[in-house]
Amino acid sequence: MKRFFILVFFVSFLGWSKVALAVTQSSEAQAYSAVVEAQLLHMEGADPSQILPLYHRILKVLPVPQAYVDMAHILLEKGDLNAAAGVLEKGLDRFPNSFTLHFLLGELYRSIGKGNLALLHLNRALELNSKDERVYQRLIGLYVEKGNYDAANALLEKWQKVAPHSCSLYLTWAKVYMTMGLYSQALEKLQRAQKENPENPEVLKYMGQVYQLKGEPDKAIEAYKRFLRISPYSIEVLNRLGELYIEEKQYPLALKLYSSLLQRHPGHPQLVAKVVSILVTMDKKEEALKILEKALRINRNERLLFMKGILLEDMGKKEEALKVFQGVIKDGKPHAPSFYIQAAGILAEEGKKEKALDILRKGIALKPDAAELYRALATLYSSMGKKDKALANAAYAVVLNPRDPSSLFSLGALLERKGKWKKGEKFLKRALELDPQNPVILNYLGYMYIDRGIKLDEGIKLVEEALKLKPDNPYYLDSLAWGLFKKGQVKEALKIQKKALRLLEKEKRNNAIMLGHLGAMYMALGMREKAKATYTKAIKYINSKDLTSWEREEIIRSAKALGLSLP
């Protein structure tokens, strides 16, 4: 709507300057005096109710298109869109061939979602002036919004006949092709636009986007660099370039770019987050911590404090992290749920689960509608073996936010692990509907099908989708290996399972069920000694809270079958 106001105001001055040349009679002079008074009041920011009576007087004496345009403008500022449209329609009753009235009425109808009326008036405006590029752009935009690409392309071809050397034409054409997913054609049009105007920064920006979409990052980087040579302070393109550097693992270049931005905007939370994230990826955590501490001296922002706590926790400085989180929530005022959740998580890891419960309860008392706090409470109760309380809190989280995939997943997983997998399946599937690219949900549901020996093919397919998103996740690889094992593809399963455990070892972790799966594969291949060695190792972690009762029983049964004694 802002663009519409600016456009009307610009037309206003042009229109009235032409009207002024025609003023000869005293009544018209008085009307023009009212125009000047109205314009001055408008420039001074007067209330629209003071200006509108002047336009009623003006229209009686000088009912020119510009008077209707200005009056509509005042009504728009007042927020009365329907009245503004009515004034423009009245203007068209009197001046049916006014390009300005048709164009502005089309713009107005477009801005309030009346697409068909917008098309009607913009097409009429085009009939009256077939060379105005703005009309082509608006009409093409409307056709694209409606999915009518044939009409959009026909209009582009018409525009090309009128203005074959227009940079705007080829840029607009490229945008249409991008919307259609035709990136090679879009690139051709951008190259033509560049030929017409080699220094147009918008063309370079879209070239960068198209190269990204085509999977040509080097060319995208070059396009963005050329853009920045022309417009060096574009935050949008600087950020696009930075993100591209990160995607391509060119971390030093990304760090240099975001650090220079941070120097211009010290303490800016989003820029600090970028710099810290890159430094952590480069394993420069101490340097990242210094950046955060410096930013906090400038801007004691809760987001920055949370980042500091997370970083300290990641560095193994649990007590310092706890102090950061508790330092925020100790004032007894409501804060972001994540502060309570992180503080409770650290306390729970230290075995101080009652204190963790207290913190979460305090958070709930201050933020009773925060579903994530009930979800965290459910997880904590589950770790304490209080399954009924866990389920009750997980269920309440879903009541508070029935469209939250995390809450639905939490409830579904708890039901499944309590043996109520059919009920759990409903919540897990609903969570996946709402978040179909979530690898955690994909893997959990897939593994549930595989482990229970139901819907094996569907389970493997779900896990494979999770692995597309996280190809080196050891737990997802374990799920796939177990699925293949269940289908009798033992050798292939063994290869994948070994990879999963190698990745797990790199993380310095152990998992009884994954070792149990490996043992079962060795047994199926007749490698009894290797199976015994694997189950011996699995037994060490048999008391893990992550194991379900049937998983624990399966490991124990297999270990006993091999003659192993339990500790």
What DSSP string describes 262-287? Answer: HHHSTT-HHHHHHHHHHHHHTT-HHH
Q: Which burial class, exposed, middle or buried, applies to 493 when counting CB atoms under 10 A from its CB (0-12, 13-18, 19+)? A: buried
Q: Which pLDDT value is given to residue 496?
A: 96
Phi, psi (deg, nearest 5) at residue 261: -65, -40
* From 7-11, 98-102, 335-339, 382-386, the region with the lowest mean pLDDT: 7-11
User: What token pair was written down for 305?
Assistant: 């404090």
Q: Which pLDDT value is given to residue 183?
A: 96
CA gap 308, 48 in Å, rounded: 50
CA gap 444, 451 in Å, rounded: 10
* From 85-94, 215-224, 478-487, 520-529, the region with the lowest mean pLDDT: 85-94
Long-range contacts: 17-26, Cβ < 8 Å, 24+? 18/66, 19/62, 19/64, 19/66
- 14 CB-near residues (< 8 Å, 6+ apart): none
Residue position matching structure tokens 């599937």: 429
182-239 tens-digit pLDDT: 999 999 999 999 999 998 999 999 999 999 999 999 999 999 999 999 999 898 999 9
Helix (DSSP H) and strand (DSSP E) numbers for the chain:
32, 0
Q: What angle do CA 42, 94, 135 make, to 5 degrees?
A: 70
CA gap 376, 397 in Å, rounded: 9
Q: Which pLDDT value is given to residue 3?
A: 42
Packing angle, helices 133-145 and 167-179, rounded to 10: 0
Rounded to the nearest integer, the mean pLDDT of the chain is 88
User: What token pair was written down for 315?
Assistant: 């560095």
pLDDT at 55 over 90: no
Question: Is 69 within 8 Å of 101 (Cβ atoms)?
Answer: yes
Long-range contacts: 432-435, Cβ < 8 Å, 24+? 432/405, 434/403, 434/404, 434/405, 434/408, 435/405
pLDDT at 363 over 90: yes
CA atoms within 13 A on the CB side of 376: 26
Amino acid letter, 116: N
First to last CA, the chain: 73
CA gap 355, 349 in Å, rounded: 11
Question: Is 482 within 8 Å of 451 (Cβ atoms)?
Answer: yes
Going by the DSSP 8-state scheme, the letter that residue 565 receives in this structure is: P
110-163 tens-digit pLDDT: 988 899 999 999 999 999 999 999 999 999 999 999 999 999 999 999 999 999
- 299 CB-near residues (< 8 Å, 6+ apart): 266, 267, 268, 269
The model's confidence at residue 53, banded by pLDDT at 50, 70 and 90, is: confident
CA gap 547, 510 in Å, rounded: 13
CA gap 349, 321 in Å, rounded: 13
Question: Comparing C-alpha atoms, which of 281, 270, 205, 272 is closest to residue 246?
Answer: 281
Q: For the chain, how big is the Rg over CA atoms in Å?
A: 33
Question: Comparing C-alpha atoms, which of 389, 423, 399, 424 is closest to residue 410?
Answer: 424
CA gap 80, 90 in Å, rounded: 16
160-190 tens-digit pLDDT: 999 999 999 999 999 999 999 999 999 999 9
